Amino acid sequence: MSVTTPTAPVRAVPEDFAARIEAALARRPEVEAHVERAVAAGVDNIFLVGCGGSLFGFGPLRVLLDRSPIPCFTVNADELLTRRPAALGARSLVVISSTNGGTAETARAAELATQVGAQILGITQDPASVVGQACPELVLHQGIEAKQVVLALLGWSLLDALGAAPEHAEAMTALQASPAAFRTAIDEMDADLDRVAAALHAEPVVYVVGSGPLESAADTLAMCYLQEMQWKHAVAVGSGEFLHGPFEMVTEDLPVIVLTGEDTTRPMGERVIRFLERYSDKVHVVDGARLTLPGVPEAMRPFVGTLVMASTIVGRLAEHFEAWSGHALSERRYMWKVDY
């Protein structure tokens, strides 16, 4: 049911919002030590492994590693277990991600990686979880922003160790500034995100489009937030696919959220937006280029902006949906309730 005022006020930003990100930054020596050890032992390829939001959360790192001299594969944990690609072996670095650590197949993927003698680094909030227990080495974090910062530290450290990060120092400067950049992003976009949720909270189906480092942020918004936590039909589409099929759904009534940033794939989103602005009255662009990102060097805006968009901004948009719909983000039909 569409309402004209929010059902409840949007959640307050947690008191420790910036502190959690600072804590992630403090993990830098730990992350670098893991990477140095792995690279010294010999690494021929990198696997980024998880499920659902933890898999989609690799989006920015996956694209950062486009410049890596060794290949990087982003794979669902169960796909890894059942397909067992030949590239997975003793000279692989396997990054295992599970925010709450409770995903059984992600823990099994860590066990498989152990069996083949790979280097393993687990990223989780809970060292006592099944995933935490299955990983010989862990980097802990609290919150989705902190996870993006840990993954970014990992990515830049890897690139540096592999001789592919001439701008490493600037990236570290940018990450040091990121707690304020994440926090100001909420204030800067809150009114816009409120308008998006006001307009779309009662729509039966919402399309979400993104490219490059934000392609899987579209998956996060569609599958984790709208489907899982709002019980709303949502269709995630890569910007590069939108005009090759999904765009035939567009009428003036089709609600589409386009996520864009300042990364090199921006023209892909702009092309989709140009099309949508001609044919739909329900286009909502959430654009990382609008963020001020205080303290972030100009050249690092695309990088930091993407981290913010892929975590804080899509998460905050979900909180605005919650405020308008009255459907708590914590409500579940099955998760944590039944076996599956």
Q: Could you tell me the smallest distance in angstroms from the CB atom of residue 146 to its own copies? A: 20
Q: What region does 132 belong to: left with phi over 0, alpha with psi -120 to 50, or beta?
A: alpha
Q: How far is the CB of 113 from its own copies (least distance, A)?
A: 16
Which of 302, 300, 218 lies closest to 263, judged by CA?
302
Answer yes or no whether residue 279 interacts with its own copies by CB under 8 A: yes
Cβ proximity to its own copies, 19 vs 39, nearer residue:
39
Closest CB 294 distance from its own copies, rounded Å: 27
In single-letter form, the type of residue at position 85 comes to: P
Question: Of 322, 310, 217, 312, nearest to 18 (Cα)?
Answer: 312
Query: Pattern 63-102, binding to its own copies, x per CB under 8 A?
Result: x--xxxx-x-x--xxxx--xxxxxx---------------
**Residues in 17-36 that interact with its own copies by CB under 8 A:** none
Closer of 145 and 228 to its own copies (Cβ)? 228
Could you tell me the two tokens for 19? 């502190």
Site string for its own copies, 219-248 (x = CB under 8 A): x---xx--xxx-x-xxx-xxxxx-xxxxxx
By beta-carbon proximity to its own copies, the closer residue of 195 and 332 is: 332
β-pairing verdict for 205-210 and 72-76:
unpaired
| Residue 214 touching its own copies (CB under 8 A) | no
| Spatial contact of 31 and 155, defined as CB atoms under 8 Å apart | no
Q: Which is nearer to its own copies, 23 or 234 (CB)?
A: 234
- Checking phi first, is residue 326 left (phi over 0); if not, alpha (psi -120 to 50) or beta? left
Q: What x-and-dash track marks residues 168-197 binding its own copies by CB under 8 A?
A: ------------------------------
Kindly report the number of other CB atoms within 10 A of residue 161's CB atom.
Answer: 17
Contact pattern for its own copies over residues 110 through 149, marking x by CB under 8 A: ----------------------------------------
Q: Which is nearer to its own copies, 15 or 248 (CB)?
A: 248
Q: Is 103 in the site for its own copies (CB under 8 A)?
A: yes
Q: Smallest distance, Å, CB 103 to its own copies?
A: 7
**Per DSSP, which regions of 166-270 are E strands?**
205-210, 233-238, 256-260
Beta strands per DSSP E along 29-142: 45-50, 72-76, 92-98, 119-124, 138-140
Instruction: Compute the distance between CA of residue 300 and CA of residue 208 in angstroms, rounded to an integer.
Output: 25
The closest of 128, 45, 139 to 97, measured between CA atoms, is 139
Q: Is 253 in the site for its own copies (CB under 8 A)?
A: no
Q: Is 336 in the site for its own copies (CB under 8 A)?
A: no
Alpha-carbon span 182 to 313, nearest angstrom: 9
Q: Which is nearer to its own copies, 40 or 336 (CB)?
A: 336
Q: For residues 183 and 179, what is the distance between their CA atoms, to the nearest angstrom? A: 6
> Residues interacting with its own copies, by CB under 8 A?
45, 51-53, 55, 63, 66-69, 71, 73, 76-79, 82-87, 103, 105, 164, 204-205, 211-212, 215, 219, 223-224, 227-229, 231, 233-235, 237-241, 243-251, 264-268, 271, 274-275, 279, 332-335, 340
